[in-house]
């Protein structure tokens, strides 16, 4: 009898945990859908929401642009050197440039950008939304006839997505320039050969796929923290738990997007 | 209640206190928390609440908290909305708090910021919920009266929901 009771309690606990986990994904998917619908609606854009979008882009992209560009250049330079010298050692120099561009511009840099933004801005967004929830600030805005979803959350999704897109583009362009300099040297004579390789890699399908992946990264780094922040119970001690859950979920989603992108391209 | 003789000057404490309990500023006495809640529920949905439970946005200054309302509701450009907010702050002679955020405000400033934010929404009724909670260190009836009388041209009607046992505080001293 006692054994049955123990089994029953364990199953109930596991069931509740599974249901809570599923509810988390459900509310995340619902929020992502809602964010997308709001983002595409012209009614979302007013003086207040535009101002929040500008602030989000300023804090997420503009403020970190010099430091991040320098870091991306350093990382790109090291990886390019490793790939080029390894390819030379194995007599595969002809493939070095293509390999470098595929690895860096299509895979590593967008992922590193998303992770960088996640560590810097997503944790802050998750905490802020959870605190807004705890302190009743969302209800205070609604009492004034201001929809918190439209004013506070959607602009963050739009600003965050545009920021990831912009930072990925800048770091990708930086990597393309560095790849040319390392492989061909700092002179323009091999530019036609270089453009031939680049145009072979970046066909329409790859470009669209890259854009779609970066947009998904951008949405993930904002939608997941906001959704987790909103889901947190209105108790102050739940805020760190909400941030922890948000960051773990975000990490898995980013990896899932990357793995899916690799599988679609190469398998 | 007639307007002040000179609408540009600030009302005295006595003038402010006389402003309370008029048809513009109704005093609603309640016996307990449940009574307070049902009184607030009886206000129209379009009424805006000034209460301890509904804070300012913590990451915005007082000026931005006020400006966000017309910016969002009427798509007013920030400069115009901030100008509108600044005029109200000037009328109440509290422009010094314009760029402060919630944690840096005194309870009096916080009340004034919340009340001015409510005015920006231009509701038919502004409900001040249990002012004793909002102004714990202030003899609040004269303070409220003076604020409301100063801003009398900027709101339609105001309810002050307070406990019955605080009624003696509203008597002139």
* A140: nearest CB among B54, B72, B78: B54
The larger pLDDT score, comparing residue B26 to residue B23, is at: B26
Q: Is B67 part of any domain?
A: yes
CB contact (8 A) between residue A137 and residue B57: yes
Q: Is B7 part of any domain?
A: no
Task: Confirm whether the ipTM is greater than 0.90.
Answer: no
Residue A73 has pLDDT above 90, yes or no: yes
CB contact (8 A) between residue A136 and residue B54: yes
Q: Band of the pLDDT at B1, cuts 50, 70, 90?
A: very low
Q: Is B30 part of any domain?
A: yes
Q: Do residues B164 and B157 touch, judged by C-beta distance below 8 A?
A: no
Centre a 10 Å sphere on the Cβ of residue B8 and count the other Cβ atoms it contains: 6
Q: Is B92 part of any domain?
A: yes
Mean pLDDT, chain A, rounded, equals: 92
Residue A240 has a pLDDT of 93
Residue B13 has a pLDDT of 67
Residue B122 has pLDDT above 70, yes or no: yes
Task: Identify the closest residue of chain B to A136 by CA–CA distance.
Answer: B54
Overall domain count for chain B: 1
CB contact (8 A) between residue B72 and residue A139: no
* A143: nearest CB among B48, B71, B73: B48
Chain A hits for B57, Cβ within 8 Å: 132, 137, 140-141
Residue B38 has pLDDT above 90, yes or no: no
Nearest Cα to Cα of residue B62 among B34, B28, B96: B96
Determine the average pLDDT of the residues in A63-90: 93
Q: Band of the pLDDT at A232, cuts 50, 70, 90?
A: confident
Q: Is B3 part of any domain?
A: no
Q: How far is A46 from chain B (nearest CA, A)?
A: 5
Nearest Cα to Cα of residue B73 among B30, B110, B121, B111: B121
B63-117: per-residue pLDDT in tens? 999 999 999 999 999 999 999 999 999 999 999 999 999 999 999 999 999 999 9
Close Cβ partners of B46 (under 8 Å, ≥ 6 residues apart): B123, B124, B125
Task: Identify the closest residue of chain A to B44 by CA–CA distance.
Answer: A143
Task: Identify the closest residue of chain B to A135 by CA–CA distance.
Answer: B55
Q: At what angle do helices B62-74 and B78-91 cross, to 10 degrees?
A: 130
Q: Is B47 part of any domain?
A: yes
- φ/ψ (deg, to 5) at B157: -150, 150
A106-138: per-residue pLDDT in tens? 999 999 999 999 999 999 999 999 999 999 999
Q: Say how far apart CA A221 and CA A255 lie, in whole Å.
A: 12
Close Cβ partners of A219 (under 8 Å, ≥ 6 residues apart): A32, A35, A36, A157, A160, A161
Residue A55 has a pLDDT of 92
Q: Say how far apart CA B115 and CA B128 lie, in whole Å.
A: 8
Q: Say how far apart CA A229 and CA A225 lie, in whole Å.
A: 6
| Residues in a beta bridge with B162 | B29
A-B CB pairs within 8 A amount to: 57
For B59, counting Cβ atoms within 10 Å of its Cβ (0-12 exposed, 13-18 middle, 19+ buried), the class is middle
Q: How far is B116 from chain A (nearest CA, A)?
A: 12
Residue A156 has pLDDT above 90, yes or no: yes
Q: Band of the pLDDT at B2, cuts 50, 70, 90?
A: very low
Residue B172 has a pLDDT of 67
Q: Is B86 part of any domain?
A: yes
Residue B170 has a pLDDT of 83
Q: Is B4 part of any domain?
A: no
| CATH number (domain holding residue B142) | 3.40.50.300
**Structural domain of B73:** 13-170
């Amino acid at each position: 009898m006692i054994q049955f009771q123990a089994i029953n309690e364990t199953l109930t606990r596991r069931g509740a945990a599974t249901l809570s986990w599923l509810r988390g994904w459900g509310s995340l998917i619902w929020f992502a859908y809602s964010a997308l619908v709001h983002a595409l609606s012209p009614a979302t854009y007013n003086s207040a929401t535009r101002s929040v979008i500008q602030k989000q882009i300023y804090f997420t992209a503009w403020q970190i642009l010099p430091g991040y560009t320098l870091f991306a250049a350093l990382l790109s330079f090291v990886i390019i050197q490793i790939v080029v010298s390894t390819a030379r050692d194995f007599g595969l120099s002809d493939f070095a440039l293509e390999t470098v561009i595929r690895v860096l511009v299509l895979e590593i840099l967008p992922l590193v950008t998303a992770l960088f933004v996640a560590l810097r801005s997503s944790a802050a967004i998750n905490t802020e939304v959870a605190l807004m929830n705890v302190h009743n600030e969302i209800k205070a805005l609604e009492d004034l006839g201001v929809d918190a979803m439209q004013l506070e959350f959607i602009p963050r999704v739009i600003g965050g997505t545009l920021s990831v897109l912009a930072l990925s583009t800048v770091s990708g362009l930086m990597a393309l320039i560095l790849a040319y300099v390392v492989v061909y040297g700092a002179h323009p004579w091999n530019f036609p050969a270089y453009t031939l390789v680049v145009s072979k890699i970046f066909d329409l399908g790859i470009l669209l796929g890259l854009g779609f992946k970066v947009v998904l990264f951008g949405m993930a780094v904002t939608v997941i923290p906001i959704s987790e922040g909103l889901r947190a119970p209105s108790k102050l001690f739940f805020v760190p738990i909400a941030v922890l859950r948000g960051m773990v979920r975000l990490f898995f989603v980013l990896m899932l997007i990357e793995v899916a992108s690799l599988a679609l391209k190469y398998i | 209640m007639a307007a002040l003789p000179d609408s540009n000057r600030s009302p005295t404490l006595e003038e402010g206190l006389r402003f309370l309990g008029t048809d513009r500023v109704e005093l609603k006495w309640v016996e307990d928390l449940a009574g307070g809640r049902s009184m607030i529920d009886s206000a129209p949905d379009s009424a805006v609440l000034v209460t301890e439970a509904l804070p300012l946005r913590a990451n915005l200054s007082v000026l931005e908290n006020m400006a966000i309302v017309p910016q969002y509701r009427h798509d007013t450009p920030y400069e115009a909305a901030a100008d509108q907010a600044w005029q109200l702050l000037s009328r109440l002679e509290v422009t010094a708090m314009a760029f402060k955020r919630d944690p840096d405000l005194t309870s009096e400033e916080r009340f004034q910021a919340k009340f001015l934010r409510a005015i920006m929404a231009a509701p038919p009724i502004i409900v001040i919920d249990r002012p004793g909670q909002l102004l714990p260190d202030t003899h609040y009836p004269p303070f409220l009266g003076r604020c409301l009388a100063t801003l009398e041209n900027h709101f339609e009607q105001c309810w002050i929901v307070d406990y019955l046992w605080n009624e003696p505080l509203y008597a002139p001293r």
